[in-house]
Protein backbone atom coordinates (compact mmCIF):
# COMPACT_ATOMS: atom_id res chain seq x y z
CA UNK A 1 0.00 0.00 0.00
CA UNK A 2 1.30 3.46 -0.96
CA UNK A 3 0.16 6.73 0.66
CA UNK A 4 -0.84 9.40 -1.84
CA UNK A 5 -2.11 11.93 0.73
CA UNK A 6 -1.45 12.31 4.45
CA UNK A 7 -5.03 12.63 5.69
CA UNK A 8 -4.73 16.29 6.72
CA UNK A 9 -7.32 17.35 4.12
CA UNK A 10 -10.70 16.01 3.04
CA UNK A 11 -9.98 13.96 -0.09
CA UNK A 12 -12.77 12.28 -2.07
CA UNK A 13 -13.68 10.63 -5.39
CA UNK A 14 -10.34 9.05 -6.46
CA UNK A 15 -10.12 7.72 -10.02
CA UNK A 16 -7.47 6.26 -12.33
CA UNK A 17 -6.17 7.88 -15.47
CA UNK A 18 -6.98 5.44 -18.32
CA UNK A 19 -3.41 5.95 -19.59
CA UNK A 20 -1.96 5.09 -16.14
CA UNK A 21 -0.14 8.40 -15.69
CA UNK A 22 -1.84 9.63 -12.53
CA UNK A 23 -4.53 9.17 -9.91
CA UNK A 24 -7.01 12.05 -9.80
CA UNK A 25 -9.07 13.03 -6.77
CA UNK A 26 -11.01 15.91 -5.24
CA UNK A 27 -9.45 17.66 -2.28
CA UNK A 28 -10.50 20.43 0.11
CA UNK A 29 -7.12 22.10 0.45
CA UNK A 30 -7.74 25.55 -1.09
CA UNK A 31 -8.05 27.09 2.35
CA UNK A 32 -9.10 30.70 1.94
CA UNK A 33 -10.96 31.55 5.13
CA UNK A 34 -13.99 33.81 5.55
CA UNK A 35 -14.43 35.46 8.95
CA UNK A 36 -17.64 34.90 10.86
CA UNK A 37 -19.42 38.15 11.72
CA UNK A 38 -20.67 37.00 15.13
CA UNK A 39 -18.22 34.42 16.43
CA UNK A 40 -14.45 34.28 16.64
CA UNK A 41 -14.15 31.59 13.96
CA UNK A 42 -13.30 31.08 10.30
CA UNK A 43 -15.28 29.35 7.57
CA UNK A 44 -14.01 27.66 4.41
CA UNK A 45 -16.99 27.77 2.06
CA UNK A 46 -15.23 26.91 -1.22
CA UNK A 47 -12.13 24.79 -0.79
CA UNK A 48 -12.25 21.99 -3.37
CA UNK A 49 -10.37 21.43 -6.60
CA UNK A 50 -9.36 18.32 -8.57
CA UNK A 51 -5.78 17.20 -8.02
CA UNK A 52 -3.50 14.86 -9.95
CA UNK A 53 -0.95 12.57 -8.27
CA UNK A 54 1.65 11.57 -10.85
CA UNK A 55 2.43 7.87 -10.43
CA UNK A 56 6.07 8.06 -11.53
CA UNK A 57 8.72 10.74 -11.34
CA UNK A 58 9.20 10.78 -15.12
CA UNK A 59 5.49 10.89 -15.99
CA UNK A 60 4.80 13.92 -18.21
CA UNK A 61 2.67 16.62 -16.65
CA UNK A 62 -0.63 16.52 -18.60
CA UNK A 63 -1.13 20.22 -17.87
CA UNK A 64 2.17 21.18 -19.50
CA UNK A 65 2.42 20.90 -23.31
CA UNK A 66 5.52 19.06 -24.57
CA UNK A 67 8.39 21.25 -25.84
CA UNK A 68 8.10 22.16 -29.52
CA UNK A 69 10.58 23.61 -31.97
CA UNK A 70 9.78 27.06 -33.45
CA UNK A 71 7.36 26.72 -36.34
CA UNK A 72 6.19 23.26 -35.26
CA UNK A 73 2.83 22.16 -36.64
CA UNK A 74 0.88 19.00 -35.78
CA UNK A 75 1.32 16.32 -38.44
CA UNK A 76 -1.59 15.32 -40.59
CA UNK A 77 -2.99 11.92 -39.71
CA UNK A 78 -2.93 9.55 -42.65
CA UNK A 79 -4.32 6.17 -41.71
CA UNK A 80 -4.25 3.35 -44.22
CA UNK A 81 -6.73 0.54 -44.54
CA UNK A 82 -4.44 -1.79 -42.59
CA UNK A 83 -3.62 0.70 -39.84
CA UNK A 84 -3.95 -0.93 -36.44
CA UNK A 85 -3.44 2.15 -34.26
CA UNK A 86 -6.97 1.88 -32.88
CA UNK A 87 -6.15 -1.58 -31.52
CA UNK A 88 -2.99 -0.22 -29.91
CA UNK A 89 -4.93 2.60 -28.25
CA UNK A 90 -7.32 0.06 -26.69
CA UNK A 91 -4.48 -1.93 -25.13
CA UNK A 92 -4.49 -1.88 -21.33
CA UNK A 93 -1.54 0.24 -20.10
CA UNK A 94 0.74 -1.06 -17.38
CA UNK A 95 0.23 0.68 -14.04
CA UNK A 96 3.61 1.53 -12.53
CA UNK A 97 3.83 3.32 -9.18
CA UNK A 98 6.99 4.83 -7.73
CA UNK A 99 6.22 5.26 -4.02
CA UNK A 100 9.24 7.46 -3.32
CA UNK A 101 8.03 11.07 -3.45
CA UNK A 102 4.50 10.07 -4.52
CA UNK A 103 2.80 12.40 -2.04
CA UNK A 104 4.97 15.28 -3.33
CA UNK A 105 3.94 14.86 -6.94
CA UNK A 106 0.54 16.53 -6.56
CA UNK A 107 -0.68 19.01 -9.15
CA UNK A 108 -3.80 21.16 -8.76
CA UNK A 109 -6.11 21.33 -11.77
CA UNK A 110 -6.57 25.08 -12.49
CA UNK A 111 -10.35 25.35 -12.15
CA UNK A 112 -12.17 27.75 -9.80
CA UNK A 113 -12.52 26.70 -6.18
CA UNK A 114 -15.99 25.27 -5.59
CA UNK A 115 -18.10 22.65 -3.86
CA UNK A 116 -17.53 19.51 -5.94
CA UNK A 117 -19.33 16.19 -6.01
CA UNK A 118 -17.89 13.53 -8.33
CA UNK A 119 -14.77 13.12 -10.47
CA UNK A 120 -13.89 10.72 -13.29
CA UNK A 121 -11.09 10.51 -15.86
CA UNK A 122 -11.52 9.82 -19.57
CA UNK A 123 -9.01 9.18 -22.32
CA UNK A 124 -7.24 12.03 -24.14
CA UNK A 125 -6.68 13.92 -20.88
CA UNK A 126 -10.32 14.69 -20.11
CA UNK A 127 -11.77 14.97 -16.61
CA UNK A 128 -15.46 14.93 -15.75
CA UNK A 129 -16.62 16.52 -12.51
CA UNK A 130 -19.74 17.96 -10.93
CA UNK A 131 -19.90 21.42 -9.37
CA UNK A 132 -22.56 21.49 -6.67
CA UNK A 133 -24.99 24.35 -6.28
CA UNK A 134 -23.95 27.43 -4.39
CA UNK A 135 -24.85 27.68 -0.73
CA UNK A 136 -26.82 30.90 -0.30
CA UNK A 137 -25.47 33.20 2.35
CA UNK A 138 -26.54 36.44 3.95
CA UNK A 139 -24.52 39.65 4.06
CA UNK A 140 -22.30 38.21 6.78
CA UNK A 141 -21.35 35.19 4.69
CA UNK A 142 -23.50 32.79 6.74
CA UNK A 143 -26.23 30.44 5.52
CA UNK A 144 -29.58 31.33 7.09
CA UNK A 145 -30.60 28.46 9.43
CA UNK A 146 -34.03 28.03 7.87
CA UNK A 147 -32.57 27.73 4.37
CA UNK A 148 -29.87 25.30 5.47
CA UNK A 149 -32.50 23.10 7.10
CA UNK A 150 -34.69 23.19 3.98
CA UNK A 151 -31.76 22.28 1.72
CA UNK A 152 -30.79 19.39 3.93
CA UNK A 153 -34.36 18.09 3.99
CA UNK A 154 -34.67 17.86 0.20
CA UNK A 155 -31.04 16.96 -0.52
CA UNK A 156 -30.62 20.06 -2.68
CA UNK A 157 -26.87 20.19 -2.07
CA UNK A 158 -26.33 17.05 -4.15
CA UNK A 159 -27.57 18.57 -7.41
CA UNK A 160 -24.98 20.24 -9.60
CA UNK A 161 -23.52 20.97 -13.01
CA UNK A 162 -21.47 18.47 -14.98
CA UNK A 163 -18.25 19.86 -16.45
CA UNK A 164 -15.52 18.50 -18.70
CA UNK A 165 -11.94 19.69 -18.32
CA UNK A 166 -9.35 19.18 -21.07
CA UNK A 167 -5.97 18.94 -19.35
CA UNK A 168 -3.98 19.55 -22.52
CA UNK A 169 -5.92 22.64 -23.57
CA UNK A 170 -6.65 23.80 -20.03
CA UNK A 171 -10.25 24.37 -21.03
CA UNK A 172 -13.44 23.71 -19.06
CA UNK A 173 -16.74 23.01 -20.86
CA UNK A 174 -20.18 22.91 -19.26
CA UNK A 175 -22.02 19.73 -20.26
CA UNK A 176 -25.27 19.38 -18.30
CA UNK A 177 -27.29 20.98 -15.51
CA UNK A 178 -29.13 19.48 -12.53
CA UNK A 179 -27.00 16.32 -12.43
CA UNK A 180 -27.31 14.29 -9.25
CA UNK A 181 -24.98 11.45 -10.22
CA UNK A 182 -23.08 10.13 -13.23
CA UNK A 183 -21.51 6.80 -14.14
CA UNK A 184 -19.19 5.77 -16.99
CA UNK A 185 -19.39 2.58 -19.01
CA UNK A 186 -16.55 0.05 -18.74
CA UNK A 187 -15.05 1.20 -22.06
CA UNK A 188 -15.35 4.89 -21.05
CA UNK A 189 -17.33 5.63 -24.22
CA UNK A 190 -20.76 6.28 -22.67
CA UNK A 191 -21.99 8.08 -19.56
CA UNK A 192 -25.26 7.64 -17.68
CA UNK A 193 -26.60 10.74 -15.93
CA UNK A 194 -29.12 10.84 -13.11
CA UNK A 195 -30.78 14.23 -13.53
CA UNK A 196 -33.37 16.21 -11.63
CA UNK A 197 -36.04 17.21 -14.15
CA UNK A 198 -38.77 19.33 -12.55
CA UNK A 199 -38.39 17.46 -9.28
CA UNK A 200 -38.39 14.00 -10.84
CA UNK A 201 -35.31 11.78 -11.16
CA UNK A 202 -34.54 10.83 -14.77
CA UNK A 203 -31.76 8.67 -16.22
CA UNK A 204 -30.16 9.86 -19.45
CA UNK A 205 -27.43 8.16 -21.52
CA UNK A 206 -24.99 10.15 -23.67
CA UNK A 207 -21.61 9.90 -25.34
CA UNK A 208 -19.01 10.30 -22.60
CA UNK A 209 -17.61 13.80 -22.26
CA UNK A 210 -19.94 15.34 -24.85
CA UNK A 211 -22.84 17.72 -24.48
CA UNK A 212 -26.22 15.95 -24.55
Q: What is the DSSP string of 93-137?
A: PPP----TTGGG-EEE--S--B-EEEEEEEGGGEEEEEEEPPPP-
pLDDT band, very low/low/confident/very high, at 95 (cuts 50, 70, 90): confident
pLDDT at 204: 94
> What residue spans of the chain are helical by DSSP H?
85-89, 145-154
pLDDT confidence tier of residue 21, bands split at 50, 70 and 90: very high
- What pLDDT, on a 0 to 100 scale, did the predictor assign at position 157? 44
Burial track 118-151 (b if 16+ CB lie within 10 A, e otherwise)? bbbbbeebbbbbbbbeeeeeeeeebeeeeeeeeb
What are the helix and strand counts (H, E) for the chain?
2, 12
**Could you tell me the pLDDT band of residue 153, with boundaries at 50, 70 and 90?**
very low
The mean per-residue pLDDT over the stretch 170-178 comes to: 94
Is pLDDT larger for residue 2 or for residue 19? 19
Question: In this model, does residue 109 exceed pLDDT 90?
Answer: yes
| Residues contacting 144, CB < 8 A, separation 6+ | 136, 137, 138
DSSP helix/strand/coil, 208: coil
Summarised one tens digit per residue, pLDDT across range 56-88 is 998 888 887 767 778 777 666 544 444 454 555
Neighbours of 97 (CB within 10 A): 12
Please state, in angstroms and as integers, the Cα–Cα distance from residue 103 to each residue in 97, 118, 134, 201, following that order. 12, 22, 31, 39
Amino acid sequence: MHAVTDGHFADTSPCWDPEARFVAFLSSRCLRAVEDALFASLNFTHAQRPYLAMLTADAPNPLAPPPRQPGWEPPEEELGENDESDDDDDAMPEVRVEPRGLSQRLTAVPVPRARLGQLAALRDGWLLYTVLREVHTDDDGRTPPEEAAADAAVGADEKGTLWRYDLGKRKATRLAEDVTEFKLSADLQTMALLCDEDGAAAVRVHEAGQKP
